[in-house]
Amino acid sequence: MKKIAILVSVLMIMIVNTVNAKGSRNQQNKENKKFEKIMKDFQMEAVMKTTKGDIAFFLYPEAAPKNVANFVFLAKNDFYNGLKFFRVVPNGLVQGGDSAENGTGTTGYLIPDEKKKWLTFDVEGILAMSNSGPDTNSSQFFITMQAMKELNGKYTIIGGIKSREDLNVLRTLREDDKVLNIDIKGKKIDKFLDYFPDEVSEWESKLKKMSNQ
């Protein structure tokens, strides 16, 4: 009887733990969905003004909140202003956002990957973060000129072009063309970075340290 009582107690503990774990997951899923909705409601866009014309993008903070926040933070701090597109693959992609302008520069901090299966490189005009391996996103970005399915699952996508006109401007870019500035738009956009206070504090500190070197 004593063994049976012990077994029953163990089973009850296991059941309670399972129920608690399931409840915790359900609560986390609800919080994640709520946060995604908040991010999506900003209806964010970016207008990248270049030496060849403007390229407008939809941004996807609901898919990659920290990476979009970093992109917005850098844009608002004029980090990208005057930087060259240092790599252009004809009918492939253009790459920029590097203060060293040779593919080696960073901001002094790294952002982890944020990948969603429903957001892919199956269409042209995708704005994504460049990396040197998993979880090494910083300031560098690239934009695709055509569908590049071979990139799926390898890079964090933060946006996509709005129209065919934007694609036409993109395809005229050559090495040494520049980003003049990036204008961020959306609903209550000034509140967006308020959702990332710890990250923004770190980014500001790291950027300041980089600029003093």
Of 86, 73, 95, the closest CA to residue 155 belongs to 95
Percent of the chain exceeding pLDDT 90 equals: 77
Lowest mean pLDDT among 2-6, 76-80, 122-126, 134-138: 2-6
The amino acid at 210: M
Residues 18-55: tens digit of each pLDDT = 666 666 677 788 888 999 999 999 999 999 999 999 99
17: Cα within 13 Å, side-chain hemisphere = 6
